[in-house]
Structure 1
Amino acid sequence: MAEGGAPEVVVAGEILVDLLSAEPASGLGEAAMFERHAGGSAANLATNLARLGVPTALVASVGDDGFGRFLRRSVEATGVDARLQEITDSPTSVVTVTRTDATPDFALFRHADRRIAPGQLPDSLLASARLFHTSGFALSREPARTTLLDGAARASAAGATLSIDLNVAPRSRDERTEIGATARVFLALGPLAKASRDDAERLFGETLPDDAICERLLSWGATLVCLTRGSEGALVAWDGGRADVSAEPLESVADATGAGDAFWAGFLAAWLRGLAPEACARSGGRLAALKLARVGPLPDRVDPETVFAAARQRPLAG
């Protein structure tokens, strides 16, 4: 923990129940049975950081129901400081997801997760945080959007590094415009930004080359951009620098759900240790590989030295 027992990282955003198809499926229509897991990009990131030994608080909202209590137990089991507000008039949010080795098919039932209130992000929580993270998903709905933008600005003013996963999924052109405007407001604060190619296409409404994606996000204000590209590895770009990092070799993929969250947790944990951007991307790739090799979340504890040491040994992509 940071001074006074406060968390070093504050993650604020969505926590959901993932109903993951029990067997691999090409789409939800082909899935017959589902298994329950704790999920949501922000929650996944928080638990993965805690698994690596990083003192982390999760600020989120759940329903006052059995699913909400399940989520609390799940994140606390990993060592996360779970600051979950229980909403009495809205159920816990749920997403159904296919198990696949590629991009999953999903259907979202969004309720309590968007009800993050200003009182959940007091200055006392943000004052000693070294890093404040949120997601494009969490920023896509009010009142969470206003709460998170304000919290990020206060955290930055207090000296924290900001981070965002641009995991956006607009349902219309108007919503894409709104989400894009919100992303630009957040990126103007100078965060570390992570996006996949799919995220970028949904955010921009067009397909761009990898370098162009990074350049656009940097022009919007990001301090560093990490573009994840699945089996092709990751491209990391910052002012005056660029690193093309190969993916961790894998014999097979058991479940791709949450791999991006594992990658970014490994990246940020390495960043907090002062590692260079390319080494951070290798750390992320190593943790993502551990996630891809198993169904559901990572084990409650992961040896961070294995992640960081293995990452430092891998070369950059040719």
Structure 2
Amino acid sequence: MTQLRFDVLCIGNAIVDVIADADDAFLEAQGLTKGSMRLIDEAEAERLYGVMGPGRELSGGSAGNTAAGLAALGCKAGFIGQVADDQLGAIYKHDVQSLGVEFLVPARGEIGATARSLILVTPDAQRTMNTFLGAAQLLDASVIDHGAVADAGILYLEGYLWDPEAPRAAMEAAIADAKAAGRRVAFTLSDTFVVDRHGPDFLRLANEGKLDILFANAAELASITGEQDFEAGLAILAPKVPLLVVTHGEQGAVAIQGSERARVAAEPIEALVDTTGAGDLFAAGFLAGQARGKGLEACLRLGAIAAAEVIQHYGARPEADLKALAGGLLA
């Protein structure tokens, strides 16, 4: 059997995260809703950066975080995302490649600045995200490496990138490539605001058989189904996709594949520091299990382990040895 170039190829926003501590009073003074994510322009990014406290600059972006987690778990991971030909773009590419992720898109000039997300973390570990998409939203279908997509076991897409027209077309093209090659497509809903804007489009993808694995959290599940009851929401969405994976905060996570259902509890942690990237790393663990042909429960446990690691420190990239934490689950 021919070995694939990638276990998972991820497409998403190439964003540098700037993470700083803040209190509720600061959020209120800036008119920010705690725990939310909003899109901002370059002027607001500069203004907010000027008034927030000292920050830690880390390469991020939802699918990029997932790719980093996959590499940390020993998977062959690739990433498609657009950066500008500037300092942050160079930092982002270097960071991704240093983690063992293959970065497939060259930097571009004259497209503005590389994207950044200003993340304010309150003492209760809630993160409030203010994202300037910059160059990331200019990912074009012309830069999609069709051969790389066809040579990946799973194509993973983030809902955040569905908003701008150009990257949406790029992801549609990649989906077509993956399906033509007989590969699986995984998609994450990303955020309730994304679902509110594009829920019908995501359901169209599911109804057309273009999605094989769909990731959501409890809030996104409620948003896309219109059903506040968790179990009722699962009953509505699960029949629409071959494999549905839904995280439920402290209550763990559920996976439903046809008539098979598995559930695991959240992993115990010593301290909750920053929830940034929890869903991204959960997806990494679950997809690592899928790439190795593991059962639903093992995949969920790998996701829970990876998510638990990332929420115990600042930043959305793993710091501990995920393979060691996973132990025999990866064998």
Q: Name the TM-score, length of structure 2 as normaliser.
A: 0.83
In structure 2, the CA distance between the partners of 1:25 and 1:82, relative to structure 1 (3 Å rule), is: farther
Which has the larger displacement, 181-190 or 283-292?
181-190
Counterparts of 1:221-300 in structure 2, within 5 Å, are 221-299=240-318
Please name the residue that 1:111 is paired with. 134
Q: Is the Cα–Cα contact under 8 Å of residues 130 and 161 in structure 1 kept in the other structure?
A: yes
Counterparts of 1:17-166 in structure 2, within 5 Å, are 17-21=16-20, 23=21, 25-26=23-24, 28=27, 31-88=52-109, 89-100=111-122, 101-166=124-189
Do residues 199 (structure 1) and 198 (structure 2) align? no
What are the ranges of 5 or more consecutive residues in structure 2 without an aligned counterpart? 30-51
1:140, distance to aligned residue in structure 2 (A)? 1.9
Aligned-residue sequence identity (percent) comes to: 26
Please name the residue that 1:179 is paired with. 198
1:217, distance to aligned residue in structure 2 (A)? 2.5
Partner amino acid, structure 1, of 2:19? L
Q: Distance in 1 between matches of 2:327 and 2:299?
A: 8
1:216, distance to aligned residue in structure 2 (A)? 2.8
Q: Is the Cα–Cα contact under 8 Å of residues 136 and 167 in structure 1 kept in the other structure?
A: yes
Secondary structure of the corresponding residue to residue 238 of structure 2: helix
Q: Name the TM-score, length of structure 1 as normaliser.
A: 0.87
Q: Distance in 1 between matches of 2:329 and 2:313?
A: 19
Aligned pairs, number: 303
| Structure 2 residue corresponding to 1:209, chosen from 229, 254, 260 | 229
Please name the residue that 2:7 is paired with. 8
Q: Distance in 1 between matches of 2:251 and 2:140?
A: 39
Partner amino acid, structure 1, of 2:265? S
Secondary structure of the corresponding residue to residue 215 of structure 1: helix
C-alpha RMSD of matched pairs (Å)? 2.4
Do residues 218 (structure 1) and 238 (structure 2) align? yes
In structure 2, the CA distance between the partners of 1:185 and 1:72, relative to structure 1 (3 Å rule), is: same
Secondary structure of the corresponding residue to residue 157 of structure 2: strand
Q: Distance in 1 between matches of 2:233 and 2:125?
A: 21
Q: Is the Cα–Cα contact under 8 Å of residues 12 and 60 in structure 1 kept in the other structure?
A: yes
1:61, distance to aligned residue in structure 2 (A)? 0.3
1:28, distance to aligned residue in structure 2 (A)? 4.1
In structure 2, the CA distance between the partners of 1:256 and 1:115, relative to structure 1 (3 Å rule), is: same
Q: Distance in 1 between matches of 2:77 and 2:272?
A: 28
User: Higher relative contact order at CA 8 Å, sep ≥6: structure 1 or structure 2?
Assistant: 2
What are the ranges of 5 or more consecutive residues in structure 1 without an aligned counterpart? 313-318
